[in-house]
């Protein structure tokens, strides 16, 4: 019985030492990857702000045209508010990219709504939505930084440890 207790204790100590080693060896790579990700995000964020300002104007034009687009208009309003709040509170980059992806999807849904209803065939809606479309964002550097962050997190065990240390998955920006 005593050998069982010693064996279990030895396994626990070995596991803790292994996890500690993984955490220590991951730290420098992850710090560099996090710094690169933050820098790439800071470069693309102003372009995204301009793009989502244009989405807000397109959303207002649709609201002004009236009709049955209340649901999509409300969803865009809500997500734009969360986008602004995430910037103001310095939310994690992963959260902000998730919101950007949500806004991109809502922008596509707004386009379908505009396209499918003659009520929205107005100059103000067309101009506002065209401004949103023209405000394209080049996120290749950001997505490369996301890839680098993902690689720095390593394999399954290392991902488990780095996830516990606050370095979880970061989504790609999908414009």
Residue 133 has what pLDDT?
Answer: 95
Q: Is the pLDDT confidence value at 154 over 80?
A: no
Domain count, the chain: 1
- Does 70 reside within a domain? yes
What pLDDT was estimated at residue 6? 67
Q: Is 166's pLDDT higher than 70? A: no
Does 71 map to a domain?
yes
User: Does residue 64 fall inside a structural domain?
Assistant: yes
67 three-class SS: coil
Range of the structural domain that residue 48 is part of: 44-175
C-beta separation of 37 from 149 below 8 A: yes
Q: Is residue 169 part of a domain?
A: yes
**What is the pLDDT, as a whole number, of residue 75?**
97
Token pair of 55 as six digits:
């989405």
- pLDDT band at 25, cuts 50/70/90? low
Predicted TM-score (pTM) of the model is 0.79
**125: in domain:** yes
């Amino acid at each position: 019985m005593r050998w069982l207790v010693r064996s279990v204790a030895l396994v626990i100590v070995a596991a803790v030492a292994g996890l500690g080693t993984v955490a220590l060896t991951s730290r420098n790579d992850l710090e560099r990857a996090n710094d690169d990700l933050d820098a790439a995000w800071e470069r693309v964020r102003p372009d995204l702000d301009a793009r989502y300002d244009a989405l807000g104007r397109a959303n207002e034009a649709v609201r002004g045209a009236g009709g049955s687009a209340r649901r999509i208009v409300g969803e865009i309003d809500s997500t734009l508010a969360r986008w602004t709040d995430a910037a103001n509170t310095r939310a994690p980059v992963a959260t902000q990219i998730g919101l950007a992806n949500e806004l991109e999807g809502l922008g596509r849904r707004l386009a379908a709504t505009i396209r499918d209803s003659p009520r929205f065939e107005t100059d103000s809606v067309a101009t506002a939505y065209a401004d949103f479309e023209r405000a394209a964002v080049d996120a290749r550097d950001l997505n490369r930084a996301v890839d680098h962050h993902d690689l720095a997190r390593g394999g399954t065990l290392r991902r488990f440890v780095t996830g516990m240390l606050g370095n979880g998955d970061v989504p790609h920006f999908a414009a």
